[in-house]
Structure 1
Amino acid sequence: MLVLHWIGKGGPPEVDGVSFSTEDSPSEAFQAVACHPSDLYLDVGHQSTPSAATVAPLVVFGDLDPRVRVHVDVWVQPGEQDSLEKIRGVVNRIWKRLNNRLCKAASDSTHIAVLALAYSRQTSLAPEFDPSDPTVARFPGLLGHSDLDIALQDLHAAGLMTRSATDTLPQCPQCEGSRALAREVCVFCGKATLEKSTIVHHYRCGYQGPEDDFEREGEDGWHCPKCHHELRHYGRDYDQSGNLFVCLSCNGDMTEPEVGFRCLDCGTDTRGDRMGFRRIWRYELTPNATMALTLLRDGKEDRILDLLRGGGRTPAEDGAIADDRPGPTSARTFKLELSLADGGDPTDLANGYEIVHSVLTKSMRDTDVISTELSDVTDGFVVTTTGGSTDFEALMRTIEGRVKDKLGEDRPIRIVAREVTTPDETPPIAIAQGGDAR
């Protein structure tokens, strides 16, 4: 039975194979939170949303609604077939990388929530444009968190996230919002009370002025206000040489007005050369972020500070010159793959996993990280060492010797170890504990 914690105001739907917990503090374990779309219509600038309070999977029952700005993991529409399997598949995939300790830490810390959300969903954090929010661009999965920009900058500075610029938005110098209206304003008084006219050039006498100067009340056609001749033929009598803007507030005239901004939130008017701008970034996890989450998962919160102090340097961006000060020794990641030899028994492979894991946990240091996922993704273990803290070649010799002692010289399993040199090669390290939706 799949258990969902219902956080909606209305009653939960009836779904075969799904049980809903409706208590404020549920007494039983649940695999996801659930609600109706209407429960997500919140002013997230002032109130938390369900997905902000936890990084547990979020399931929404109802018709798709563009007003929902929250990250939804599973959207179940009315009458949809196989909804149970749809929910279970997504929930299981997320919980392979979460556990209760991470969820608790994420609810208490914006920094951990950022990392846990990106890691558990295996996605980058990309902002979406939302005109209902003063910042215009926000991260759907992290709505309701305060000081989110500061947290993302902290994680980037710590080497836990890389970032790349995606856009640039104006920023009001008064309230720092980005909902600004761009307008052409008078270069003299700064007001947007401009009237546009075409400049007419009379060839005969050389007079130039706005087309209104050439009009006479009650008469058709144009007449030059200087020599009073009628302008009959374009290109022979006159031409139109550009535009003229006249300010209705100060009567100033200009050929090129300035660009000004009016903040739609606080009403401040700012000239273009005084307007601030802010960059919008897409954030990606680094291997060090995976290390930090694994340390947290394993209850080694005190070691995360060591990781942040020695987690590597932040790459230079936008062509900037990288800091050439000596940085900490970078981490090294190794992958140990176990496979069954011909004629071997599955129990031999299970014994091999147990032996290798025992050697790893006894030999590695506190700042090293070992994944414990045994699946078709890793087929073994992923080991990350910091600062060369572990002699990996000696460690492999120890593993080989222990396997021989336990399983014999003609051991029925193969062990292949190699260093992972690129982040893309690093397989996701799933969390062994947590709410498997079975």
Structure 2
Amino acid sequence: MSALAALAARRPARPGFREVPPERRRRRRVQLVWALLVMNVLTFFPESRLLLPIPSALGRLIAQGSLPLALLLVLTVNRPLRIRPSVYAFLASLLVTEAVISSLRAEFLVGALYRSSRLLIFVVVLWLLSPWWTRRDLLLIRTHLMVLWAVIGTVVLGFLVSPGGAMVDDRLTGVLWPIPATQVGHYAAMATGLTTVLWMAGLLRREIALVSVVIAIPVLLLTHTRTALIALLVGGIIAGLSLFTARARARRTFAIAIGVFSVGALTAGSAVTTWLARGQDTEQVAALTGRKLVWDAILAQPRTTWETLFGFGLSNKSFTGLPIDSNWLGTYYDVGLLGAAFNIAMLLFVFVGAWFTPQGPRRALALFIVAYCVVASFTETGLSEASPYLLELTLAASLVYPRPSREGI
């Protein structure tokens, strides 16, 4: 057998056959795991208008089945099982535990336990990906950005094929896969921010960054998503300031941005006001498009001490059939004050960790993501469930994780 093995080792490779190194195979599987996690949070909405009708059962199977598939795949690449201790992941695990406990007493027990199980598997996969958090090449960040580009590409393609079908109530949505306008705006804003920060840090070529931003910003504007735009601006300013003294690109970007803002304020002030108003009157804007009525009803709902601390169990983030549209009210309703406290602790940990991280790309990216999540959390849900926001906050936590002197993976 040893002679046969030696002969096989000396045998030349077949013409045209290129063996993929083991490290590259592992990296590709990690990227696929992350893409499956993103696919899982692309919730399928069966009532949406699509160019190619997707059966509801098939759409849900694709979205929901990607999570157990991601778990199986990450188990094949993380052998033997290794995880890195993390305060952030520990807090996420406490959130999962509290969600399971609260869901055991939920009115809709099956749905609450299903969402808790989904969150549990989601966090387990994130734990198993922890050995790749500290890679020098920012593998998870680059993978997330590539997946965002792919998602935005499907939205743009659907708009080019069917402009009328893609614009619902004058807001751009996905028609190849059902993606609401708010989610499209979120993906476009996050892609724009990550691309800009990577370019300012000198980690992305100018041509790639320019094409990405030129496509993503019009997509964001066509969605008329005010939260995503404001979160992008706040996160971009904070990230840019963290690079201001170290990167000439950051200083040039700030100078150009100030010039564009000044000219735009003088020449397009009315157009900006119209875009922000989104066809709503002053009363509707003050009521946050009806959100305030739902929020007041949640706060006025009678609760026992248990329900105040632990909530009513994980829900679909709606109250009396209306969307809650606030991470803090949604978290309070689902998992009570304890769940909200875990959310605050997770955000504070990432922010403090980013503050004490040495100046550079990792710090700037982490500050952008955590600032974006904080701003968006006031009118968007997601930090207490398997969602794009929890996924991206995990990316920020991975960036502030202390890098070992020698990489094991």
TM-score (norm 2): 0.27
The structure where helix makes up a greater share of residues is 2
**Larger RCO (alpha carbons 8 Å, 6+ apart):** 2
The structure with the larger Rg is 1
TM-score (norm 1): 0.26
The structure where strand makes up a greater share of residues is 1
